[in-house]
Amino acid sequence: MVDRGLLYREWKQNQVVILLSIVFLVLANPLTIYHSYSLNESCLAHSDPKLCAFFVDYHIDSMIQVNWVIGIILAVCLVGLERSRGTMDFLLGLPYTRSQIFQTKFWLGAVVIVVSQLIGFLLAWLLILFLKPEQVNFFEHGSIGVMITSIMFYSLVMAAGSLAGNAFAQLLTAFATSVLPYLIIVLPFSNIEIISGVQVWRLFPNVEYYFDFENNLMDFSPIAYVDSSWVAESKYLLLIPAVMSILFYFIGYISFIKHHNERNGYFFLWKTLDRPIQILVIVLGILGFGIVGHSAGESIAGYIIGMIIGGIVGFLISYFSIFKKVRR
């Protein structure tokens, strides 16, 4: 599964990034507690003690909310930058299986993300016992949830790296995937409203059902977990990013071991994806710019002009990003 020689190679190649990631993830949680404590001390020094309260709220003020960024950085360093530099070709030529290479890379980053945050959780818990805040909100739920969302984004970007031919393509693919579940529903609905003149929410029993549907749809969009509002919702909501993490892992694993043609410098390693993704980008461009054109002109003419511009923009973006080879 994980090869020691490969593990050492990955460690030496990404040593600085890994060490900085560990330091950040370990300290983020304790610093959240200390930050709240320092604010309380500052309040006590300048205000009436009755007006000051030492509490920690992981929904409002938490440094761990950006821990998911570390997962993205690690995934780009482990896969995307290797493809951009061309060192992945050398690695694939070594006497290791593709499965060993992917498993070593994936689990190295996953262990760094999880173990570092577990240590940070323990340090924060000890700090809470020592400083004794009056109230702590969502400590366990927030800390564990951030671990899950960090792994989800890490798995997503690793999967994108297994499909893409360079770091830029990896990030763009991951971002597009993170918003795609929302776009493929909302954009068509918005265009239906413009064409038919019937507001979509009227098709639901009442407006509350419509907003519930929209919120539930966002729960299946990875980008929704960038915002910390999920902390205050049901604890079972975290099952969605947990399942998505597993799904992205298998997508990345299968893609990495199956795509033997590296297509150096191209957007996708799998040539079959080029045309369908180009068509999708053009369609989304048409629908998106159509809405913008209608909003600007409040007319069907503006809507049509926006769709034409969107089609041209979508074609140019997809053509120059997907079909044009990137020079190294």
pLDDT digits (tens, 9 = 90+) for 260-311: 666 667 788 888 888 888 888 898 888 888 888 877 777 788 888 888 998 9
Q: Report pLDDT for 201.
A: 55
Residue 229 to residues 55, 57, 138, 226, 279: CA-CA distances in angstroms?
A: 19, 12, 11, 9, 34
> Which range (198-207, 266-275, 309-318) has the least confidence?
198-207
Residue 35 lies in a domain: yes
pLDDT digits (tens, 9 = 90+) for 206-222: 656 666 666 677 778 89
Residue 189 to residues 63, 198, 205: CA-CA distances in angstroms?
A: 37, 10, 17
Mean of the pLDDT values across residues 155-166? 91
Residue 310 lies in a domain: no
Which range, 19-28, 39-48, 140-149, 223-232, is most confident?
19-28
Which range, 18-27, 186-195, 303-312, is most confident?
18-27
Residue 261 lies in a domain: yes
Mapped onto helix, strand or coil, the DSSP state of residue 325 is coil
What percent of the chain has pLDDT above 70? Answer: 89
- Burial degree of 196 (CB within 10 A; 0-12, 13-18, 19+): exposed
Distance of alpha carbon 74 from alpha carbon 71, whole angstroms: 5
Residue 240 lies in a domain: yes
Residue 318 lies in a domain: no
Residue 273 lies in a domain: no
Residue 34 lies in a domain: yes
Confidence of residue 103 (pLDDT cuts 50, 70, 90): very high
Mean of the pLDDT values across residues 92-112? 90
Q: How many helices and strands, by DSSP H and E, does the chain display?
A: 12, 2
Q: Report pLDDT for 290.
A: 85
- Burial degree of 198 (CB within 10 A; 0-12, 13-18, 19+): exposed
Distance of alpha carbon 147 from alpha carbon 114, whole angstroms: 6
Q: Report pLDDT for 248.
A: 96
Residue 37 lies in a domain: yes
Indicate the number of domains in the chain.
1
Structural domain including 236 reads 4-167+232-265
Which tokens sit at 280?
Answer: 């999708």
Q: Report pLDDT for 326.
A: 66
pLDDT digits (tens, 9 = 90+) for 107-144: 999 999 999 999 999 999 999 998 888 888 888 888 99
What percent of the chain has pLDDT above 90? Answer: 30
Mean of the pLDDT values across residues 300-326? 84
> Which range (95-99, 101-105, 179-183, 296-300) has the least confidence?
296-300
